[in-house]
Amino acid sequence: MSAPLLALVFAVGLGGSPVSASVSVSTSRPVPAYDGPVRLGDGRTVYLHCEGTGSPTIVLESGYHDNAQLWSEAEPTPPAAGPAVFPGLARTNRVCAYDRPGTLDYSKQPPTITTRSSAVAMPRSAAAVVADLHATLAKARIRGPYVLVAHSLGGLFALLYARTYPAQIRGVVLVDAFSPTVPALFGENWPAYRSVLSKPGTSEDDKPGFEVIDVDRSVTELNAANPLRPDLPLVVISKTEPFPLPPDVSGFTPAQLEQVWTQAQNQLTTLEPHTPHIIATGSDHYVQVRQPDVVIAAARLVIHRAAAQDGTTR
């Protein structure tokens, strides 16, 4: 049975302006395998939600300022169809999503900073995010190996995780992800775009605890890490529709943003040989909401390729 349509207002993490969407939320899910706070041992907790069975475990990494909820929402753009990414993947595999500290809780109107994960000092970097995720999975005894499905700036975190813990990762799906080449491609206009990333135009932008990522430091951390395992299955999914930007944006143009983003998406496909590049035609930045079936299919393709490597079938 479905609940009434829920109107969500969520920040476009790499576009910088709010977007309104009506999303159907199901109330008939099975009892989750794990749902609640994970104690990290330093006085903090991280909210983790896992459902389904089957290996490898799929870990969903949200974009900048987004909590776990958006992986369970779907507003498919025809001919795309539901279910949402989380329940769709949970039909065949164990799936986990979590709230990074400082991300937005979209069950509130307007969205507010999540209270499901403990607050931390900001800004943070990708290394801190990766350390939190690694500790969360270990403390909750979520067994690997893992396939990482990452949206937007979450792609930076997923790539660093895969480079830091290569033995744990079976594959990666990058959903219109942030490439580490973006700052260099923007050149002298990068500080202006970085400002839009950090303050996307929500009511929470200037509140203590709101997620702020030191992107420059994060890119440095990624570049200093070991390279990806050369046989790691990887899929890149890219949008076609432009980012919505505030009317008073300055320091770069919408055309420059789209050009940089296209170049950066193409660069991501060079990280591994024979990487499929799926163009989600008609989708905006939130491909997992607009075309969830594409994201689900990409994850299953990665799982199939990983299984083929070790002589199993799925």
What's the mean per-residue pLDDT of the chain? 89
Cα–Cα distance for residue pair 47/150, rounded to 1 Å = 17
> Count of alpha carbons within 13 Å of 238, Cβ hemisphere only?
22
pLDDT band with cut points at 50, 70 and 90 for residue 5: very low
pLDDT band with cut points at 50, 70 and 90 for residue 107: confident
Q: What percent of the chain has pLDDT over 70?
A: 89
Q: Which superfamily is assigned to 6-309 in CATH? A: Alpha/Beta hydrolase fold, catalytic domain (3.40.50.1820)
Q: Do 88 and 293 touch, CB atoms closer than 8 A?
A: yes
**E-assigned strands of 33-72?**
34-39, 45-51, 57-61
Helix residue ranges per DSSP H, 165-253: 182-186, 190-198, 215-224
Query: pLDDT per residue over 125-150, tens digit each?
Result: 999 999 999 999 999 999 999 999 99
Query: pLDDT per residue over 145-159, tens digit each?
Result: 999 999 999 999 999
Check residue 177 and give its pLDDT: 98
Cα–Cα distance for residue pair 86/265, rounded to 1 Å = 24
Check residue 82 and give its pLDDT: 84
Query: pLDDT per residue over 190-218, tens digit each?
Result: 999 999 999 998 999 999 999 999 999 99
